[in-house]
Structure 1
Amino acid sequence: MTEKEKMISGHFYDPSDVELMELRLKARLTTEKLNQTSVANKEERSKIIKTLFGSTGENIYIESPFNCDYGENIYVGENFYANFGCVILDVAEVHIGDNCFIAPQVGIYTATHPIDPEQRISGLEYGKTIKIGNNCWIGGHAIINPGVELGDNVVVASGSVVTKRFGDNVVIGGNPAKVIKEVIK
């Protein structure tokens, strides 16, 4: 397997691999262009995002600044909105459903490192896929950790640290996040 294939599949990989460094540079240059494109030019901003991400819905918007590792591992649905300061570390895939809103300063992190110090100092890393369902709202300064899955209609309270899977129709919050209440439909 190539280092990229290892990365996407959740195995330990070497981030100093030439192909991965080139892909990260490409993403940095693309996000730099996005972050410097006027908010008045929504069509151009949308076009840049669509070239950066693996796939998108038609109606998408991201406020600047926005940063990611690769971009091509991010898949968002229709009516996606991310507010100021969103960071998505996409060494593994990030799937976000339709009608999802991300508040300011949210971090979505698939990247992780070994707990064992000897493995960690080797420089190897790995990632875990994140899945966010339809109709979700992630509150400001929330952190979505590697491997998290959120069902449909989930609201994540501001400042929450989400470390595990949650099903449909819940409001979660805290550190670590837990169910605060159910969403009545």
Structure 2
Amino acid sequence: MSDYQKMIASQPYDCMAPELDLIRRETARLYRRFNKADEEEEQQILLQALVGELAEGAFICPPFYCTYGRHISLGKGSYINMGATILDNAPVRIGANVMIGPNVQIYTAAHALDAEARIDGVETALPVTIEDRVWIGGGAILLPGITIGREAIVGAGSVVTKDVPAGARVVGNPARILPAKAKTPSL
């Protein structure tokens, strides 16, 4: 099994493997072109080449950074604001009508906790899923393996370390669910 196959299967893999480095370099060339493009039509063409799935009406504002691109699916009418970083070593599924604020970071990759294994490049990737009609405030960070449920809201600057139920509102570091009757702080 290749390191790419291990990565996609959420098994430990060598993140320094030449096959992965080659794909990351190709992806970086594409997102640099996207980030420099002036015309929206050219941006859309580059996005279609960069991400795995770009549904009707979905858009990402430059600048945008990702690891592989091909593992990102962006649902109909979804919008990612400028400065987003998506480490899509595993699938990142973003549903329909999702709004993602500026400078949001989505991570699927986690380095080994053991120092020797980490130095050797051992990494594991876990998928991230953002269901339909979610709003993620600016500067939020989503960690590997989490799911944000339908119509949930993630407050600006929150660090999401575990799944967020549908309709919940979470804030803070680590993100915690606000009580149903609590007034929502500025998101």
TM score, norm. by length of structure 1: 0.94
C-alpha separation between the residues in 2 aligned to 1:145 and 1:180? 19
CA distance in 1, matches of 2:116, 2:29: 33
Deviates more, 1:116-125 or 1:2-11: 116-125
Q: How many residues align?
A: 181
- Once the two structures are TM-superposed, the CA of residue 122 in structure 1 deviates from its matched residue by 1.7
Confirm or deny: 8 A CA contact 1:45 1:61 kept in the other structure: no
Structure 2 partner of 1:8: 8
Q: Is the 8 A contact 1:172 1:181 kept in 2?
A: no
2:154 is matched with which residue?
156
**What's the counterpart of residue 117 of structure 2?**
119
Give the whole-Å Cα distance in 1 for the aligned partners of 2:77 and 2:40.
14
For residue 9 of structure 1, report the CA deviation from its aligned partner.
0.9
Runs of at least 4 residues of structure 1 off by over 2 A? none
Q: Which amino acid aligns with 1:147?
A: G
Closer, same or farther: CA 92–114 of 1 in aligned 2, 3 Å: same
Contact persistence 2:59–2:78 (CA under 8 A): yes
Q: Tell me, which stretches of 5 or more residues in structure 1 are unaligned?
A: none
Specify the alignment match of 1:176 in structure 2.
174
CA distance in 2, matches of 1:37, 1:148: 32
1:109 corresponding residue in structure 2: 107
CA offsets 1:3-61 (integer angstroms, 9 cap, x no match)? 100011111111222221111011100000100001xx222211211111111211122
Inter-partner Cα distance in structure 2 for 1:182 and 1:106: 25
Q: Is the 8 A contact 1:100 1:134 kept in 2?
A: yes
Q: CA RMSD in A?
A: 1.3
Q: Work out the CA distance in 1 between the residues paired with 2:42 and 2:77.
A: 17
1:28 aligns with 2:40: no
Query: Helix, strand or coil: the match of 2:6?
Result: helix
Provide the C-alpha distance between the structure 1 equivalents of 2:140 and 2:170, rounded to a whole number of angstroms: 11
Q: Contact 2:98–2:132 (CA<8 Å) still a contact in 1?
A: yes
Q: Distance in 1 between matches of 2:56 and 2:40?
A: 12
